[in-house]
Structure 1
Amino acid sequence: MAHRNQIDSHLQALLEVGRFKDYGPNGLQVEGKAEVHKLVSGVTASLALIEAAIEAQADAILVHHGLFWRGHDGRVTGWLKARLEKLLAHQINLFAYHLPLDAHPELGNNAQLGAKLKLVADGRFGEQDLGFIGAPEKPLSAAALGALLQFRLGRAPTVVEGDGRPLKRVAWCTGGAQGYFEAAIAAGADAFITGEISEPQAHYARETGVAFLACGHHASERYGAPAVAAQVAETFGLEHQFIDIDNPA
Protein backbone atom coordinates (compact mmCIF):
# COMPACT_ATOMS: atom_id res chain seq x y z
CA MET A 1 0.00 0.00 0.00
CA ALA A 2 1.14 3.54 -0.75
CA HIS A 3 -0.32 7.01 -0.59
CA ARG A 4 -1.02 8.51 -4.01
CA ASN A 5 1.28 11.45 -3.18
CA GLN A 6 4.15 9.04 -2.49
CA ILE A 7 3.61 7.45 -5.88
CA ASP A 8 3.39 10.84 -7.57
CA SER A 9 6.61 12.08 -5.96
CA HIS A 10 8.43 8.85 -6.83
CA LEU A 11 7.38 9.06 -10.48
CA GLN A 12 8.24 12.74 -10.75
CA ALA A 13 11.79 11.92 -9.66
CA LEU A 14 12.15 8.63 -11.55
CA LEU A 15 11.02 10.10 -14.89
CA GLU A 16 12.68 13.51 -14.39
CA VAL A 17 9.42 15.19 -15.32
CA GLY A 18 10.71 18.71 -14.74
CA ARG A 19 13.22 18.63 -17.59
CA PHE A 20 10.65 18.14 -20.37
CA LYS A 21 8.53 20.59 -22.32
CA ASP A 22 5.46 18.56 -23.13
CA TYR A 23 2.06 18.68 -24.84
CA GLY A 24 0.10 18.20 -21.63
CA PRO A 25 0.44 17.79 -17.85
CA ASN A 26 2.59 14.94 -16.54
CA GLY A 27 1.76 13.38 -13.20
CA LEU A 28 -1.48 12.94 -11.29
CA GLN A 29 -4.22 14.07 -13.68
CA VAL A 30 -7.25 12.81 -11.72
CA GLU A 31 -7.28 12.44 -7.95
CA GLY A 32 -8.87 9.33 -6.48
CA LYS A 33 -8.43 7.31 -3.28
CA ALA A 34 -5.63 8.40 -0.99
CA GLU A 35 -4.36 4.84 -0.47
CA VAL A 36 -3.38 2.71 -3.44
CA HIS A 37 -3.28 -1.09 -3.24
CA LYS A 38 -3.59 -2.07 -6.90
CA LEU A 39 -2.13 -0.29 -9.94
CA VAL A 40 -3.23 -0.92 -13.52
CA SER A 41 -1.06 0.21 -16.42
CA GLY A 42 -2.01 0.78 -20.04
CA VAL A 43 -1.13 2.85 -23.07
CA THR A 44 -4.06 5.28 -23.22
CA ALA A 45 -6.66 6.44 -20.68
CA SER A 46 -9.51 5.27 -22.90
CA LEU A 47 -12.97 4.45 -21.58
CA ALA A 48 -12.26 0.76 -22.27
CA LEU A 49 -9.11 0.83 -20.11
CA ILE A 50 -10.90 2.71 -17.31
CA GLU A 51 -13.74 0.18 -17.32
CA ALA A 52 -11.27 -2.71 -17.32
CA ALA A 53 -9.43 -1.14 -14.37
CA ILE A 54 -12.71 -0.82 -12.48
CA GLU A 55 -13.41 -4.50 -13.17
CA ALA A 56 -9.90 -5.31 -11.90
CA GLN A 57 -10.61 -3.31 -8.70
CA ALA A 58 -7.69 -0.93 -9.28
CA ASP A 59 -7.10 2.15 -7.16
CA ALA A 60 -4.86 3.82 -9.75
CA ILE A 61 -4.08 3.75 -13.45
CA LEU A 62 -0.74 4.68 -15.03
CA VAL A 63 -0.74 5.52 -18.74
CA HIS A 64 1.35 7.12 -21.46
CA HIS A 65 -1.54 9.03 -23.06
CA GLY A 66 -3.61 10.90 -20.48
CA LEU A 67 -6.78 12.97 -20.74
CA PHE A 68 -5.54 16.54 -21.15
CA TRP A 69 -3.55 18.01 -24.02
CA ARG A 70 -2.38 21.38 -25.24
CA GLY A 71 -5.20 23.15 -27.06
CA HIS A 72 -8.01 21.50 -25.08
CA ASP A 73 -10.69 24.13 -24.52
CA GLY A 74 -11.55 23.04 -20.98
CA ARG A 75 -15.08 21.77 -21.56
CA VAL A 76 -15.99 18.47 -19.90
CA THR A 77 -18.39 17.00 -22.45
CA GLY A 78 -18.73 13.90 -24.62
CA TRP A 79 -15.91 11.35 -24.41
CA LEU A 80 -14.03 13.35 -21.76
CA LYS A 81 -17.09 13.53 -19.49
CA ALA A 82 -17.65 9.79 -19.87
CA ARG A 83 -14.07 8.96 -18.88
CA LEU A 84 -13.91 11.41 -15.98
CA GLU A 85 -17.30 10.30 -14.69
CA LYS A 86 -16.08 6.71 -14.35
CA LEU A 87 -12.79 7.69 -12.71
CA LEU A 88 -14.44 9.99 -10.19
CA ALA A 89 -17.32 7.65 -9.39
CA HIS A 90 -14.89 4.85 -8.53
CA GLN A 91 -12.23 7.15 -6.98
CA ILE A 92 -9.48 5.92 -9.30
CA ASN A 93 -6.26 7.93 -9.51
CA LEU A 94 -4.99 8.60 -13.03
CA PHE A 95 -1.25 9.10 -13.53
CA ALA A 96 -0.09 10.06 -17.03
CA TYR A 97 3.45 10.56 -18.36
CA HIS A 98 4.05 11.44 -21.99
CA LEU A 99 7.56 12.48 -23.10
CA PRO A 100 9.17 11.59 -19.75
CA LEU A 101 7.95 8.02 -20.22
CA ASP A 102 9.30 7.90 -23.78
CA ALA A 103 12.75 9.05 -22.70
CA HIS A 104 13.66 7.04 -19.60
CA PRO A 105 16.93 5.23 -20.43
CA GLU A 106 15.84 1.85 -19.03
CA LEU A 107 12.08 1.77 -18.46
CA GLY A 108 10.81 4.14 -21.15
CA ASN A 109 9.08 3.32 -24.42
CA ASN A 110 12.22 3.79 -26.50
CA ALA A 111 14.43 1.73 -24.19
CA GLN A 112 11.86 -1.05 -23.95
CA LEU A 113 11.33 -1.19 -27.72
CA GLY A 114 15.09 -1.31 -28.18
CA ALA A 115 15.28 -4.23 -25.75
CA LYS A 116 12.59 -6.06 -27.70
CA LEU A 117 14.68 -5.69 -30.87
CA LYS A 118 18.05 -6.24 -29.12
CA LEU A 119 19.13 -2.71 -30.02
CA VAL A 120 21.39 -0.98 -27.51
CA ALA A 121 21.37 2.81 -27.69
CA ASP A 122 24.75 4.52 -27.69
CA GLY A 123 23.48 7.96 -28.63
CA ARG A 124 20.51 10.33 -28.63
CA PHE A 125 19.19 12.73 -31.24
CA GLY A 126 16.27 15.04 -31.99
CA GLU A 127 14.31 17.52 -29.94
CA GLN A 128 14.85 17.02 -26.18
CA ASP A 129 17.09 14.03 -27.04
CA LEU A 130 14.05 11.79 -27.38
CA GLY A 131 15.40 9.72 -30.28
CA PHE A 132 17.67 6.70 -29.62
CA ILE A 133 20.35 5.39 -31.99
CA GLY A 134 22.58 2.34 -31.81
CA ALA A 135 23.84 -0.77 -33.58
CA PRO A 136 22.03 -4.08 -34.07
CA GLU A 137 23.78 -7.29 -33.02
CA LYS A 138 24.84 -7.66 -36.66
CA PRO A 139 24.04 -5.69 -39.85
CA LEU A 140 20.71 -6.68 -41.38
CA SER A 141 18.49 -5.70 -44.27
CA ALA A 142 15.41 -3.49 -44.06
CA ALA A 143 13.26 -6.53 -44.89
CA ALA A 144 14.85 -8.50 -42.04
CA LEU A 145 14.31 -5.61 -39.62
CA GLY A 146 10.68 -5.41 -40.75
CA ALA A 147 10.27 -9.14 -40.13
CA LEU A 148 11.81 -8.77 -36.68
CA LEU A 149 9.38 -5.95 -35.87
CA GLN A 150 6.44 -8.07 -36.99
CA PHE A 151 7.64 -11.01 -34.88
CA ARG A 152 8.25 -8.93 -31.75
CA LEU A 153 5.22 -6.59 -31.94
CA GLY A 154 2.69 -8.82 -33.68
CA ARG A 155 2.01 -6.33 -36.44
CA ALA A 156 3.33 -6.02 -40.00
CA PRO A 157 5.13 -2.67 -40.31
CA THR A 158 5.13 -0.31 -43.23
CA VAL A 159 8.64 -0.56 -44.70
CA VAL A 160 10.24 1.88 -47.16
CA GLU A 161 13.53 0.12 -47.84
CA GLY A 162 15.78 2.99 -48.90
CA ASP A 163 18.74 2.00 -51.07
CA GLY A 164 19.18 -1.53 -49.74
CA ARG A 165 22.36 -0.87 -47.73
CA PRO A 166 23.18 -3.12 -44.76
CA LEU A 167 21.72 -1.54 -41.65
CA LYS A 168 24.65 -0.91 -39.32
CA ARG A 169 23.13 2.03 -37.42
CA VAL A 170 19.45 1.99 -36.45
CA ALA A 171 17.57 4.95 -34.93
CA TRP A 172 14.19 4.74 -33.28
CA CYS A 173 11.59 6.85 -31.49
CA THR A 174 8.22 5.38 -30.59
CA GLY A 175 4.75 6.76 -31.31
CA GLY A 176 4.12 9.63 -33.71
CA ALA A 177 7.78 10.57 -34.23
CA GLN A 178 7.87 10.51 -38.03
CA GLY A 179 8.99 14.14 -37.89
CA TYR A 180 12.28 12.94 -36.31
CA PHE A 181 13.30 11.15 -39.52
CA GLU A 182 15.49 13.98 -40.82
CA ALA A 183 17.26 14.23 -37.45
CA ALA A 184 17.85 10.47 -37.53
CA ILE A 185 19.37 10.78 -41.00
CA ALA A 186 21.62 13.60 -39.79
CA ALA A 187 22.68 11.41 -36.83
CA GLY A 188 24.02 8.78 -39.23
CA ALA A 189 21.20 6.24 -39.19
CA ASP A 190 20.82 3.62 -41.93
CA ALA A 191 17.23 3.01 -40.78
CA PHE A 192 14.64 4.73 -38.61
CA ILE A 193 11.84 3.00 -36.69
CA THR A 194 8.79 4.81 -35.32
CA GLY A 195 5.07 4.28 -34.93
CA GLU A 196 3.62 6.28 -37.80
CA ILE A 197 4.42 7.43 -41.33
CA SER A 198 3.25 10.59 -43.09
CA GLU A 199 3.50 11.42 -46.78
CA PRO A 200 6.97 13.06 -46.80
CA GLN A 201 8.88 10.22 -45.14
CA ALA A 202 8.59 7.82 -48.09
CA HIS A 203 10.23 10.41 -50.33
CA TYR A 204 12.99 11.11 -47.82
CA ALA A 205 13.75 7.38 -47.58
CA ARG A 206 13.95 6.97 -51.35
CA GLU A 207 16.02 10.09 -51.84
CA THR A 208 18.51 9.57 -48.99
CA GLY A 209 18.66 5.77 -49.03
CA VAL A 210 17.80 5.53 -45.32
CA ALA A 211 15.11 2.94 -44.61
CA PHE A 212 11.94 4.00 -42.79
CA LEU A 213 9.80 1.56 -40.80
CA ALA A 214 6.45 2.44 -39.18
CA CYS A 215 5.24 -0.26 -36.81
CA GLY A 216 2.10 1.34 -35.32
CA HIS A 217 1.77 4.07 -32.70
CA HIS A 218 0.10 1.85 -30.12
CA ALA A 219 2.19 -1.22 -30.93
CA SER A 220 5.43 0.69 -30.42
CA GLU A 221 4.33 2.13 -27.05
CA ARG A 222 2.97 -0.91 -25.22
CA TYR A 223 6.06 -1.47 -23.11
CA GLY A 224 7.02 1.69 -21.21
CA ALA A 225 3.95 2.08 -19.00
CA PRO A 226 3.97 -1.50 -17.67
CA ALA A 227 7.74 -1.36 -17.09
CA VAL A 228 7.42 1.84 -15.05
CA ALA A 229 4.33 0.57 -13.21
CA ALA A 230 6.11 -2.69 -12.34
CA GLN A 231 8.95 -0.66 -10.81
CA VAL A 232 6.46 1.38 -8.78
CA ALA A 233 4.66 -1.78 -7.65
CA GLU A 234 7.92 -3.37 -6.53
CA THR A 235 9.01 -0.21 -4.72
CA PHE A 236 5.78 0.16 -2.74
CA GLY A 237 4.56 -3.43 -2.50
CA LEU A 238 1.55 -2.93 -4.77
CA GLU A 239 -0.33 -5.34 -6.98
CA HIS A 240 0.16 -4.49 -10.67
CA GLN A 241 -1.69 -5.53 -13.81
CA PHE A 242 -1.03 -4.42 -17.39
CA ILE A 243 -4.17 -4.21 -19.51
CA ASP A 244 -3.64 -3.86 -23.26
CA ILE A 245 -6.59 -2.30 -25.10
CA ASP A 246 -5.88 -3.07 -28.76
CA ASN A 247 -5.68 -0.14 -31.15
CA PRO A 248 -5.12 -0.48 -34.92
CA ALA A 249 -3.43 2.94 -35.13
Structure 2
Amino acid sequence: MISREQLLNYLTDTLQPHRIKDYAPNGLQVEGTEEITKIVTAVTASQSVIDAAIELGADAVLVHHGYFWKGEAPELVGMKQKRIKALLEHDINLMAYHLPLDIHPEFGNNAMLAKELGLTITGPMELGNELSVAVCAEFAEPQPASEFVKTIERCLGRKPLHIGDDCQLIKSVGLCSGGAQDYIDLAANRGMDAFLSGEVSERTYYSAVEQGIHYFAAGHHATERSGIRELGKRIAAEFGVEVVFVDAPNPV
Protein backbone atom coordinates (compact mmCIF):
# COMPACT_ATOMS: atom_id res chain seq x y z
CA MET A 1 0.00 0.00 0.00
CA ILE A 2 1.10 3.55 -0.74
CA SER A 3 -0.50 6.87 0.09
CA ARG A 4 -1.60 9.23 -2.64
CA GLU A 5 0.86 11.81 -1.33
CA GLN A 6 3.75 9.32 -1.45
CA LEU A 7 2.96 8.39 -5.02
CA LEU A 8 2.62 12.00 -6.16
CA ASN A 9 5.88 12.95 -4.43
CA TYR A 10 7.64 10.07 -6.20
CA LEU A 11 6.22 11.09 -9.58
CA THR A 12 7.15 14.74 -9.02
CA ASP A 13 10.72 13.83 -8.04
CA THR A 14 11.07 11.39 -10.93
CA LEU A 15 9.42 13.30 -13.77
CA GLN A 16 10.03 16.89 -12.60
CA PRO A 17 7.00 18.38 -14.38
CA HIS A 18 7.89 21.90 -13.23
CA ARG A 19 10.80 21.95 -15.71
CA ILE A 20 8.68 22.08 -18.86
CA LYS A 21 5.69 24.10 -20.05
CA ASP A 22 2.85 21.80 -21.06
CA TYR A 23 -0.61 21.81 -22.65
CA ALA A 24 -2.38 20.22 -19.67
CA PRO A 25 -1.86 19.97 -15.91
CA ASN A 26 0.64 17.32 -14.86
CA GLY A 27 -0.01 15.43 -11.65
CA LEU A 28 -3.27 14.77 -9.83
CA GLN A 29 -6.25 15.66 -12.04
CA VAL A 30 -9.08 13.92 -10.18
CA GLU A 31 -8.80 13.20 -6.46
CA GLY A 32 -9.82 9.80 -5.13
CA THR A 33 -8.99 7.64 -2.14
CA GLU A 34 -5.95 8.46 -0.01
CA GLU A 35 -4.68 4.87 0.24
CA ILE A 36 -3.61 3.12 -2.96
CA THR A 37 -3.13 -0.62 -3.29
CA LYS A 38 -3.64 -1.10 -7.04
CA ILE A 39 -2.78 1.17 -9.97
CA VAL A 40 -3.88 0.96 -13.59
CA THR A 41 -1.54 2.51 -16.13
CA ALA A 42 -2.55 3.34 -19.70
CA VAL A 43 -1.74 5.69 -22.55
CA THR A 44 -5.04 7.59 -22.34
CA ALA A 45 -7.73 7.95 -19.66
CA SER A 46 -10.48 6.76 -21.99
CA GLN A 47 -13.80 5.38 -20.80
CA SER A 48 -12.63 1.84 -21.55
CA VAL A 49 -9.56 2.34 -19.35
CA ILE A 50 -11.70 3.73 -16.51
CA ASP A 51 -14.11 0.81 -16.86
CA ALA A 52 -11.17 -1.60 -16.68
CA ALA A 53 -9.84 0.17 -13.57
CA ILE A 54 -13.25 -0.16 -11.90
CA GLU A 55 -13.45 -3.84 -12.79
CA LEU A 56 -9.94 -4.45 -11.47
CA GLY A 57 -10.64 -2.58 -8.24
CA ALA A 58 -7.90 -0.02 -8.86
CA ASP A 59 -7.44 2.99 -6.60
CA ALA A 60 -5.57 5.09 -9.16
CA VAL A 61 -5.28 5.50 -12.90
CA LEU A 62 -1.92 6.80 -14.12
CA VAL A 63 -1.79 7.89 -17.77
CA HIS A 64 0.12 9.86 -20.37
CA HIS A 65 -2.99 11.55 -21.79
CA GLY A 66 -5.31 12.89 -19.12
CA TYR A 67 -7.82 15.74 -19.16
CA PHE A 68 -8.15 19.55 -19.14
CA TRP A 69 -6.12 20.32 -22.25
CA LYS A 70 -5.35 23.91 -23.24
CA GLY A 71 -8.22 25.26 -25.33
CA GLU A 72 -10.57 22.47 -24.26
CA ALA A 73 -14.14 23.42 -23.37
CA PRO A 74 -14.38 23.65 -19.56
CA GLU A 75 -17.92 22.30 -19.19
CA LEU A 76 -18.30 18.88 -17.57
CA VAL A 77 -20.81 17.50 -20.03
CA GLY A 78 -21.17 14.53 -22.34
CA MET A 79 -18.16 12.25 -22.61
CA LYS A 80 -16.09 14.22 -20.09
CA GLN A 81 -18.88 14.18 -17.49
CA LYS A 82 -19.32 10.42 -17.86
CA ARG A 83 -15.62 9.76 -17.39
CA ILE A 84 -15.17 12.01 -14.38
CA LYS A 85 -18.41 10.81 -12.79
CA ALA A 86 -17.17 7.22 -12.99
CA LEU A 87 -13.87 8.16 -11.35
CA LEU A 88 -15.56 10.09 -8.54
CA GLU A 89 -18.23 7.46 -7.88
CA HIS A 90 -15.54 4.80 -7.42
CA ASP A 91 -13.11 7.06 -5.52
CA ILE A 92 -10.37 6.56 -8.14
CA ASN A 93 -7.47 8.98 -8.45
CA LEU A 94 -6.50 10.15 -11.93
CA MET A 95 -2.89 11.18 -12.45
CA ALA A 96 -1.48 12.27 -15.80
CA TYR A 97 1.97 13.21 -17.08
CA HIS A 98 2.31 14.40 -20.65
CA LEU A 99 5.53 16.04 -21.86
CA PRO A 100 7.50 15.09 -18.71
CA LEU A 101 6.94 11.46 -19.66
CA ASP A 102 7.86 12.07 -23.30
CA ILE A 103 11.27 13.52 -22.49
CA HIS A 104 12.47 11.46 -19.52
CA PRO A 105 15.98 10.27 -20.45
CA GLU A 106 15.62 6.75 -19.01
CA PHE A 107 12.04 5.60 -19.52
CA GLY A 108 10.36 8.41 -21.41
CA ASN A 109 8.48 7.61 -24.60
CA ASN A 110 11.35 8.69 -26.83
CA ALA A 111 13.98 6.85 -24.80
CA MET A 112 11.98 3.63 -24.72
CA LEU A 113 11.04 3.89 -28.40
CA ALA A 114 14.67 4.35 -29.43
CA LYS A 115 15.70 1.36 -27.33
CA GLU A 116 13.01 -0.87 -28.82
CA LEU A 117 13.92 0.11 -32.37
CA GLY A 118 17.66 -0.38 -31.96
CA LEU A 119 18.55 3.32 -32.05
CA THR A 120 20.97 5.24 -29.86
CA ILE A 121 19.92 8.77 -28.89
CA THR A 122 22.73 11.22 -29.62
CA GLY A 123 21.18 14.45 -28.35
CA PRO A 124 18.27 16.89 -28.53
CA MET A 125 16.95 17.83 -31.96
CA GLU A 126 16.49 21.42 -30.81
CA LEU A 127 20.07 22.57 -30.34
CA GLY A 128 20.80 23.91 -26.87
CA ASN A 129 17.47 22.67 -25.45
CA GLU A 130 18.00 19.77 -23.07
CA LEU A 131 14.22 19.52 -22.70
CA SER A 132 13.61 19.12 -26.43
CA VAL A 133 10.65 16.83 -27.08
CA ALA A 134 12.31 15.62 -30.29
CA VAL A 135 15.67 13.84 -30.25
CA CYS A 136 18.38 12.80 -32.69
CA ALA A 137 19.25 9.11 -32.88
CA GLU A 138 21.19 6.75 -35.08
CA PHE A 139 21.81 3.12 -35.94
CA ALA A 140 25.18 1.51 -35.31
CA GLU A 141 25.28 0.71 -39.03
CA PRO A 142 23.19 2.05 -41.93
CA GLN A 143 20.24 -0.13 -42.89
CA PRO A 144 17.70 -0.18 -45.72
CA ALA A 145 14.53 1.74 -44.99
CA SER A 146 12.58 -1.45 -45.70
CA GLU A 147 14.31 -3.18 -42.77
CA PHE A 148 13.39 -0.34 -40.46
CA VAL A 149 9.77 -0.73 -41.52
CA LYS A 150 9.95 -4.41 -40.49
CA THR A 151 11.54 -3.50 -37.15
CA ILE A 152 8.82 -0.95 -36.39
CA GLU A 153 6.08 -3.43 -37.25
CA ARG A 154 7.66 -6.14 -35.12
CA CYS A 155 8.22 -3.91 -32.09
CA LEU A 156 5.03 -1.85 -32.17
CA GLY A 157 2.58 -4.39 -33.60
CA ARG A 158 1.56 -2.30 -36.58
CA LYS A 159 3.01 -1.52 -39.99
CA PRO A 160 4.04 2.13 -40.28
CA LEU A 161 3.31 4.45 -43.15
CA HIS A 162 6.64 5.05 -44.85
CA ILE A 163 7.27 7.98 -47.19
CA GLY A 164 10.50 7.36 -49.08
CA ASP A 165 12.47 4.81 -51.08
CA ASP A 166 12.49 1.39 -49.38
CA CYS A 167 15.90 0.57 -50.82
CA GLN A 168 17.74 3.64 -49.54
CA LEU A 169 20.05 3.27 -46.56
CA ILE A 170 19.34 5.29 -43.42
CA LYS A 171 21.53 5.86 -40.38
CA SER A 172 20.40 9.04 -38.62
CA VAL A 173 16.79 9.23 -37.41
CA GLY A 174 14.95 12.08 -35.76
CA LEU A 175 12.49 10.78 -33.21
CA CYS A 176 9.47 12.14 -31.37
CA SER A 177 6.57 10.00 -30.20
CA GLY A 178 2.92 10.98 -30.59
CA GLY A 179 1.68 13.79 -32.81
CA ALA A 180 4.96 15.48 -33.73
CA GLN A 181 4.99 15.14 -37.50
CA ASP A 182 5.87 18.80 -38.05
CA TYR A 183 9.30 18.27 -36.51
CA ILE A 184 10.18 16.67 -39.85
CA ASP A 185 11.28 20.09 -41.11
CA LEU A 186 13.74 20.51 -38.24
CA ALA A 187 15.04 16.98 -38.86
CA ALA A 188 15.57 17.86 -42.51
CA ASN A 189 17.38 21.06 -41.54
CA ARG A 190 19.64 19.00 -39.27
CA GLY A 191 20.53 16.82 -42.25
CA MET A 192 18.99 13.64 -40.86
CA ASP A 193 18.16 10.70 -43.09
CA ALA A 194 14.74 10.07 -41.56
CA PHE A 195 12.18 11.22 -39.04
CA LEU A 196 9.74 9.06 -37.07
CA SER A 197 6.67 10.12 -35.14
CA GLY A 198 3.21 8.80 -34.42
CA GLU A 199 0.90 10.71 -36.74
CA VAL A 200 0.99 12.07 -40.26
CA SER A 201 -0.64 15.04 -42.00
CA GLU A 202 -1.28 15.75 -45.67
CA ARG A 203 1.52 18.32 -45.62
CA THR A 204 3.98 15.78 -44.20
CA TYR A 205 4.17 14.00 -47.54
CA TYR A 206 5.43 17.11 -49.33
CA SER A 207 7.88 17.95 -46.54
CA ALA A 208 9.40 14.48 -46.86
CA VAL A 209 9.49 14.29 -50.66
CA GLU A 210 10.67 17.82 -51.36
CA GLN A 211 13.35 17.80 -48.66
CA GLY A 212 14.58 14.29 -49.40
CA ILE A 213 13.97 12.85 -45.95
CA HIS A 214 12.25 9.58 -45.06
CA TYR A 215 9.19 9.76 -42.83
CA PHE A 216 7.76 6.95 -40.73
CA ALA A 217 4.32 7.37 -39.13
CA ALA A 218 4.20 4.59 -36.56
CA GLY A 219 0.99 5.44 -34.67
CA HIS A 220 0.38 7.93 -31.85
CA HIS A 221 -0.84 5.28 -29.41
CA ALA A 222 1.73 2.69 -30.48
CA THR A 223 4.69 5.03 -30.01
CA GLU A 224 3.57 6.05 -26.52
CA ARG A 225 2.84 2.74 -24.81
CA SER A 226 6.31 1.97 -23.52
CA GLY A 227 6.94 5.02 -21.34
CA ILE A 228 3.89 4.69 -19.11
CA ARG A 229 4.26 0.92 -18.96
CA GLU A 230 7.89 1.20 -17.82
CA LEU A 231 6.97 3.87 -15.26
CA GLY A 232 4.36 1.50 -13.83
CA LYS A 233 6.96 -1.27 -13.50
CA ARG A 234 9.25 1.05 -11.58
CA ILE A 235 6.47 2.11 -9.21
CA ALA A 236 5.62 -1.55 -8.56
CA ALA A 237 9.26 -2.35 -7.79
CA GLU A 238 9.74 0.73 -5.61
CA PHE A 239 6.60 0.44 -3.47
CA GLY A 240 5.42 -3.15 -3.83
CA VAL A 241 1.97 -2.15 -5.06
CA GLU A 242 0.15 -3.95 -7.85
CA VAL A 243 0.33 -2.13 -11.19
CA VAL A 244 -1.64 -3.30 -14.24
CA PHE A 245 -1.04 -1.89 -17.71
CA VAL A 246 -4.26 -1.65 -19.75
CA ASP A 247 -3.57 -1.42 -23.47
CA ALA A 248 -6.84 -0.09 -24.85
CA PRO A 249 -6.64 -0.60 -28.64
CA ASN A 250 -6.30 2.53 -30.75
CA PRO A 251 -5.35 2.41 -34.45
CA VAL A 252 -4.40 6.09 -34.63
For the aligned pair, the TM-score class normalised by the smaller chain equals over 0.9
**What amino acid maps onto 2:45 in structure 1?**
A
2:216 to 213, 218, 227: 213
Give the aligned partner of residue 17 of structure 2: 17
Match of 1:133 in 2: 136
The alignment status of 1:88 with 2:91, answered yes or no, reads no
% same residue: 44
Shift of 1:72: 2.1
Q: Is the 8 A contact 1:143 1:161 kept in 2?
A: no
Q: Conserved in 2, the CA contact under 8 Å of 1:132 and 1:172?
A: yes
Partner of 1:50: 50
Q: Distance in 1 between matches of 2:138 and 2:66?
A: 33
Amino acid paired to 2:239: F
* Displacement of 1:165: 4.0
| 2:235 is aligned with 1:232 | yes
2:160 alignment partner in structure 1: 157
Cα distance in 1 for partners of 2:3, 2:145 equals: 47
- Separation (CA, whole Å) in 1 of partners of 2:118 and 2:36: 35
Note if 1:242 corresponds to 2:245: yes
Post-superposition offset of 1:187: 2.5
Q: How many residues align structurally?
A: 249
Residue of structure 2 equivalent to 1:27 = 27
2:197 to 194, 197, 201: 194
Counterpart amino acid of residue 210 in structure 2: E
- The answer to whether residue 204 in structure 2 is matched with residue 204 in structure 1 is no
SS at match of 2:195: strand
Distance 1:162 1:69 in 2: 38
1: CA distance, partners of 2:101 / 2:193: 26
Question: Residue 146 of structure 1 corresponds to which residue in structure 2?
Answer: 149
Tell me by how many angstroms 1:162 deviates: 5.5
Residues 162 and 205 of structure 1 are in contact (CA less than 8 Å); yes or no, is this contact kept in structure 2?
no
SS in 1 for 2:115: helix
Secondary structure of the corresponding residue to residue 114 of structure 1: helix
Task: For residues 160-195 of structure 1, give each alpha carbon's deviation from its aligned partner in whole angstroms, at most 9, with x where no partner exists.
Answer: 016964211111100000011111222331111100
The AA in structure 2 aligned to 1:74 is: P
Name the aligned partner's letter for residue 3 of structure 1. S
Q: Give the distance between the partners of 2:207 and 2:72, measured in 1 at CA.
A: 33
Q: Does 1:79 align with 2:79?
A: yes
1:168 aligns with 2:171: yes
Who is 1:113 aligned against?
113
Following the alignment from structure 1 to structure 2, what is the Cα–Cα distance between the partners of residues 157 and 239? Answer: 33
CA distance in 1, matches of 2:235, 2:191: 36
* CA distance 1:50–1:248, change in 2 (3 Å): same
1:68 alignment partner, SS class: coil
CA 163–219 in structure 1, closer or farther in 2 if over 3 Å, else same: closer
Residue type of the partner of 2:132? Answer: D
Match of 2:98, as an amino acid?
Answer: H
**Range 139-148 or range 207-216, more displaced:** 139-148
Question: How far apart in 2 are the matches of 1:27 and 1:181?
Answer: 30
CA distance in 2, matches of 1:49, 1:137: 38
Pairing 1:98–2:98 present:
yes
CA distance in 1, matches of 2:251, 2:171: 30
Q: Secondary structure at the match of 2:143?
A: coil
- Kindly state the Cα deviation for residue 202 of structure 1 after the two structures are TM-superposed: 1.1
* Counterpart residue type for residue 66 of structure 1: G
Residues 40 and 240 of structure 1 are in contact (CA less than 8 Å); yes or no, is this contact kept in structure 2? yes
Question: Which consecutive unaligned segments of at least 5 residues does structure 2 have?
Answer: none
